[in-house]
Structure 1
């Protein structure tokens, strides 16, 4: 490439000094051309986000950057970015502030933390418009903001203009972030995991939207996009070139098709081949039913205004959901955000009883009606029904050691065990999940994401449950770690004949783990059946769209 828009030259970021200096990014050389789509992929800790933040000088204050980041997109000479390249690492902060937003814009991973909760979405986009066009009138800036919302595909943009971030869905918030980023018509858009919190269908919509907006940008020079992600399917769909980082080092870079079909580096090969493997044992013909729901419905009080004579209609989250989960079986539950997946899991676990939820129908756990059990009876049965949550770091107490975390269930359900017996059981179950005895005195922050999830699995398994509810158990993990955790869950299911209710929006995970799949939409079961049959021959339009978005059909 003769004249890249952005060039990293021998770029490094380190923390500490002397012998304690650690490089998060080491001697990176990477070019991004005008109008090009480049993806930067790698596992957590590979240096992707630091690489993305550096051009805008948003890296942590404790970080030490070296090398050069050359920017050729400045419009100060001639208006079309034809000035000499400038080193962003050596520019004064006043000049960097002029470049932020106007020339290089960024979409952050979590829009709820990036958007100001005290201002409407419209006001925040108007602010970005006025930065680009300081002489524009208030009325014209509002019109421009609404037009940007319309371009991003948000329904009823005039109405959403006056909404606060918490009043929008995850996909709508991400679209609002894109509208803000595009308000200044940047030459380079950096998108840091812009689709992580979104459903598969929304992920493709967002990336297709970025492609369309990039095409429209050709009128003012063409916008380049740097996508930071660990979702390899999205990279295949979106990027023209891909660069692979591992522990701060560039492993491989090249055209996307070439890197995925003929990877040269061993790490890249492992990353490309990290798709979950289906290796589940068949369910025994006469396996007993361990968990059953019959016409399970859940509703919450309505949010509309009420009168003395009429109360607001209740909001129905689940609508007459029925299924049977057998010993040794996994049922996967899929659907978009708001479809009722998590509510189903919480209802099965009996964790909605103290809320404003109204529950009707039957939840049968090991032959007992869960709703009719007394609190003491339900507590006694909890050892048979355990849960593994989405975020292993959030579900483990930072103030408790691994020993305290894993033994807590034994203290509640088996108080008569001696201290020696409790420790032996903890050591045995940690060994089962691949954690060494030396971890007993350590704390959650000292472990990787995959190790923390293994500790969470050990905490659930030490009570010898028969049923596990898995609520997005791998969504917070990198693809290679995800594959290891799923292999572990498969092995444990075979060994202990466990029943899994697996809730996920990752259809590759569902395909690898599930015997049957339940498809939820707006609280209703729209399709239910054998996993392979459903994937290859879906009957409902909604199911077909979900599988097509995940490139599984």
Structure 2
């Protein structure tokens, strides 16, 4: 656990800072009179529930607040000293600067790692070229070869395997964790004085989370010679906060409830809300699988491969990159199988393969997938469509999976329109409202659009969309990755309750081993597309046979 900070000179300071929407009686404050300071060389974590104002607070220094937001108060950007030229700059209020001046600060002085890398990265350019562009902003006279070498070194530092190869990959060709690491590499390319990291480790497995934070500490240490770098971390992963932050600030509905040294806040929280947040842990409340429960989903020797992007021969058969290698399992009614492994191990590919959603003509799938006793690949499109209501999915990236042109009513009821077209308007609205209440939202959400919600709220909308059809099988691809710990606990309790009530079968893909432990009857451990270990959850956690599995559990502090 990080110790209490000594003394840090001011770098960024929020003073009486507020963000509100609407006007008059309809004005609603998202952040209310916030006073918070981040010092040079300091690491401050901002924590709180979804919708508490964390991300809006992080976006404001770069003037990236949503359209229609009313921002008041000051955000003081600390003075900048140049030791060699013996010059200095007085602190400036970022909220009063013209946007042209803010653009000069973005990236060069204040950099940001966004929560959802797939929407932040340009899909038309390789990740390497996007990092090169950031390098050249910081060093405009650098040669192309040197900027490429610097970009590859950054990819290597952030833990991406085969960085020379991944340099040429497009965002959609990387796993969620690899995209997040590429975003971090891009943010660090300009050697900023302040790094704002909005859920930077959401898509990473537990071992890589610690590696990334260790990397940020290392880079912060290196930056001491160039004036120092502060870090503002936005996260709902309290375990990481314990190991990373000097100080913690707790937000609740836009109000700063508590701020103090990490050890003090976690050891002796003063505010009741903070105490509830610190004590929020997933609870294992799953029912045993019935002895004669039928198999609903079966995979036999399932393999998936893609062409090697570096192979350009017209005369030789292209070498293929194996993402999955002969994976087999049986998922029974009322059972949850948890799938864990490092980023890029094939977890999401497995989920998409059993769903029939690989969506890539270059993907080659071999082996067998049976859904409710039907050979999935052999079914005609009309037959598959009839089974879709029984096999649903919750995707990892809620913003990318929700249409920005549809409101919540349209999003959640879309499946009803397809599979239950005879429902009346009243019946359809009643079902949507019932499901909204089950995931912690209310009627006021119906007419709103995805961009009006926090990341965690969007994930709850995605869960409601999947569950409204009462599927028999649900593929959960990081279903709680965007949720804070207290809401995560509620959602997991909801999923457990629905599983007991309707005998649902879950294929649960997650980096969060606490979630796996709370929800899974059995655990499948993937590494390099292979199943390296498979067994009953608690037995596997208590006695992992493979070194790789033991390292995963140790990193998550579950053993």
Band of TM-score, shorter chain: 0.7 to 0.9
Residue 312 of structure 1: CA displacement?
1.1
2:326 matches 1:317: no
* Secondary structure in 2 matching 1:460: coil
1:256 to 262, 266, 280: 262
Q: Per the alignment, in what secondary structure is the counterpart of residue 194 of structure 1?
A: coil
Question: Alpha-carbon deviation of 1:52?
Answer: 2.3
Structure 1 residues 42 and 435, CA gap change in structure 2 (3 angstroms) = closer
Could you tell me which residue of structure 2 aligns to residue 452 of structure 1?
A: 461
Q: CA deviation at 1:210?
A: 0.5
Partner of 2:78: 72
Q: CA RMSD in A?
A: 4.0
Deviations 1:440-494 (A, max 9, x none): 9756658743652453244231xxx433322332223333222222111111111
Determine the C-alpha separation between the residues in 2 that align with 1:61 and 1:423. 32
Find the residue that maps to 2:73 and give its secondary structure.
strand
> 1:440–1:56: structure 2 CA closer, same or farther, 3 Å change rule?
closer
Structure 2 contact 110–195 (Cα < 8 Å) conserved = yes
Report if aligned partners of 1:74, 1:103 keep a CA contact under 8 Å in 2: no
TM-score of the aligned structures, taking structure 2 as reference length? 0.83
Aligned to 2:61: 55
Which residue in the other structure is 2:20 paired with?
A: 14
Q: TM-score scaled by structure 1? A: 0.84
> Shift of the alpha carbon at 1:276?
1.5
- Would you say 1:37 and 2:43 are equivalent positions? yes
- Which among 297, 303, 306 is matched to residue 297 of structure 1? 303
The correspondence for 2:11, drawn from 2, 5, 10, is: 5
Q: Which moved more, 1:165-174 or 1:313-322?
A: 165-174
Equivalent position of 1:433 in the other structure: 438
CA distance in 2, matches of 1:353, 1:224: 42
Secondary structure in 2 matching 1:347: helix
Supply the distance in 1 between the matched residues of 2:482 and 2:310 (Cα, whole angstroms): 35
1:547: which partner in 2? 553
Which structure is higher in RCO with an 8 Å CA cutoff and minimum separation 6?
2
Q: 1:141 to 1:454 in 2, by over 3 A?
A: closer
Aligned residue number for residue 279 of structure 2: 273
Q: Offset at 1:279?
A: 0.7
- Is contact 1:387-1:460 (8 Å) kept? no
Q: Which of 200-209 and 339-348 deviates more?
A: 339-348
Say whether the 8 Å CA contact 1:450–1:482 is kept in structure 2: no
Match of 2:349 among 343, 349, 362: 343
User: Aligned with 1:275: secondary structure?
Assistant: coil
Question: Are the aligned partners of 2:158 and 2:185 in contact in 1 as well (CA < 8 Å)?
Answer: yes
**Residues 72 and 82 of structure 1 are in contact (CA less than 8 Å); yes or no, is this contact kept in structure 2?**
no
Q: Does structure 1 retain, via aligned residues, the 8 Å contact 2:203–2:481?
A: no
Q: Deviations over 1:54-75 (max 9, x none)?
A: 3334434643333233333311
Distance verdict in 2 for CA 1:336–1:27, change over 3 Å: same
228, 231, 245: which one aligns with 1:225:
231
Which whole-Å deviations, capped at 9, do the CAs of 1:80-118 have from their partners, x for residues lacking one? Answer: 886654433344556545544444333333455545566
Q: Kindly tell me the number of residue pairs found equivalent between the two proteins.
A: 549
Tell me how far 1:304 sits from its aligned partner: 5.0
- What does residue 536 of structure 2 align with? 530
1:9-61 per-residue CA deviation (whole Å, 9 max, x = no partner) reads 22223334333333222111112223111111123332222322333344346
- CA drift at 1:541: 2.2
Query: Within 1, Cα distance between the matches of 2:296 and 2:170?
Result: 44
The answer to whether the 8 Å contact 1:399/1:443 transfers is: no
Measure the CA separation in 1 of the matches of 2:169 and 2:162: 11
Q: 1:237 aligns with which of 243, 262, 272?
A: 243
Once residues 138 and 377 of structure 1 are traced to their aligned partners in structure 2, the CA distance between those partners, rounded to angstroms, is: 53
**Residue in 2 aligned with 1:24?**
30
Q: Judge conservation of contact 2:47–2:251 (CA < 8 Å) in 1.
A: yes
Q: Displacement of 1:516 after TM fit?
A: 0.3
In structure 2, the partner of 1:503 is 509
Q: Is there any run of 5+ residues in structure 2 with no aligned partner, and where? A: 1-6
Where structure 1 has 5 or more consecutive residues not aligned to the other structure, the ranges are none
- Pairwise mapping of residues 134-149 of structure 1 onto structure 2 (< 5 A)? none
Out of 95, 107, 116, the residue aligned to residue 113 of structure 2 is 107
CA contact (8 A) 2:408 2:461 kept: no
Q: Supply the distance in 2 between the matched residues of 1:101 and 1:36 (Cα, whole angstroms).
A: 19
Q: How far is the alpha carbon of 1:259 from its aligned partner?
A: 1.3
Tell me, yes or no, if the aligned pair for 2:323 and 2:528 is still in contact at 8 Å.
Answer: yes
Verify the 8 A CA contact 1:236 1:256 in the aligned structure 2: yes
Moved more, 90-99 or 9-18: 90-99
Q: Deviations over 1:368-421 (max 9, x none)?
A: 433444555544444443334445565556677777766665666567x67499
